[in-house]
């Protein structure tokens, strides 16, 4: 099941995706057990780790530009004993180059480059795949919606989530707000005729994922760290 308690993660300086937002993001992403998932702006890696447990026979590509984030993701991957996360220390969208074709993309941070990231993700995204984007600024939300509106291969829905936690103070339960967040869920349309092209790096991955025993995969020549 999804929804690891926030305090179980090793946390760095970066803000972490809170449990409730993680739960909704992962549920909206509908990750299958053999899926390939890209997590852009992975931060503490909390989403990556939960995604990796769902895609137990797939891979999660956790991308972050910040070195301290990479450290924290590595520590969390170890703590939770997930061995199917490939950690990529690079800025998006450049960091997507080494990622094979994917079933799901999660965007937790876009560093102001939402459009370019979405365009790069689209090239890797299989028909029927899903992109789930968490937006905390008006500008990233707008950029994301505009990209989706102008791209006829995608359908989307979007919600804003305001979570308030009731903090127990003596005999009282006091309302403490978390910052609201928008979650945009886009689905790439399953086209009637799918081009019969084999992407080599994808094929290699798929083979590893399907035939390899767990914990004994060779993810190939990816620029991991």
In whole angstroms, how close is the CB of 31 to a second copy at the nearest point?
Answer: 7
CA angle (74 as vertex; 11, 96 as ends), nearest 5: 105
Contact (CB, 8 A) for 99 and 88: yes
Q: CA nearest 142: which of 115, 161, 163, 179? A: 115
Q: Could you tell me the two tokens for 96?
A: 């997507």
Q: Which stretch binds a second copy (CB under 8 A): 63-71, 95-103, 155-163, 209-217?
A: 155-163
Q: State the burial class of residue 155 (Cβ atoms within 10 Å of its Cβ: 0-12, 13-18, 19+).
A: exposed
- Contact with a second copy (CB under 8 A): which of 159, 189, 194, 225? 159
- Position 14 contacts a second copy (CB under 8 A): no
Site string for a second copy, 102-141 (x = CB under 8 A): ----------x-----------------------xxxxxx
Interface with a second copy (CB under 8 A), residue from 12, 16, 17, 24: 24
Paired sense of beta strands 125-135 and 85-89, if any: unpaired
Is residue 49 a contact partner of residue 209, using CB atoms and an 8 Å limit?
no
CB of 183 to a second copy, least distance (A): 9
* Residue number with CB closer to a second copy (70 or 106): 106
13 is a site residue for a second copy (CB under 8 A): no
Contact status: 195 vs a second copy (CB under 8 A): no
**How far apart are alpha carbons 8 and 10 in whole angstroms?**
7
Residues in contact with a second copy by the rule CB under 8 A: 1-3, 20, 23-24, 27-28, 30-31, 54, 112, 136-142, 145, 149, 157-166, 169, 171-182
């Amino acid at each position: 099941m999804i929804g690891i308690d926030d305090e179980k993660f090793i946390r760095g300086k970066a803000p972490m995706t809170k449990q409730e937002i993680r739960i909704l993001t992962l549920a909206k992403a509908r990750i299958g057990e053999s899926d390939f998932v890209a997590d852009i702006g992975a931060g503490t890696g909390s989403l990556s780790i939960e995604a990796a447990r769902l895609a137990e026979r797939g891979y999660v590509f956790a991308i972050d530009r910040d070195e301290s984030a990479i450290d924290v993701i590595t520590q969390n991957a170890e703590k939770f004993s997930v061995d199917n996360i490939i950690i990529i220390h690079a800025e998006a969208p450049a960091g997507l180059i080494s990622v094979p074709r994917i079933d799901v993309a999660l965007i937790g941070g876009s560093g102001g480059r939402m459009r370019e990231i979405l365009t790069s993700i689209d090239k890797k995204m299989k028909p029927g795949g899903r992109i789930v984007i968490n937006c905390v600024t008006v500008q990233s939300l707008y950029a994301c919606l505009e990209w989706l509106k102008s791209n006829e291969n995608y359908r989307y829905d979007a919600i804003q989530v305001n979570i308030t936690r009731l903090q127990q103070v003596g005999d009282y339960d006091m309302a403490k707000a978390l910052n609201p967040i928008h979650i945009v869920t886009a689905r790439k349309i399953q086209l009637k005729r799918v081009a019969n092209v084999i992407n080599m790096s994808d094929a290699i991955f798929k083979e590893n994922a399907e035939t390899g025993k767990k914990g004994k995969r060779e993810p190939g020549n990816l620029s991991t760290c």
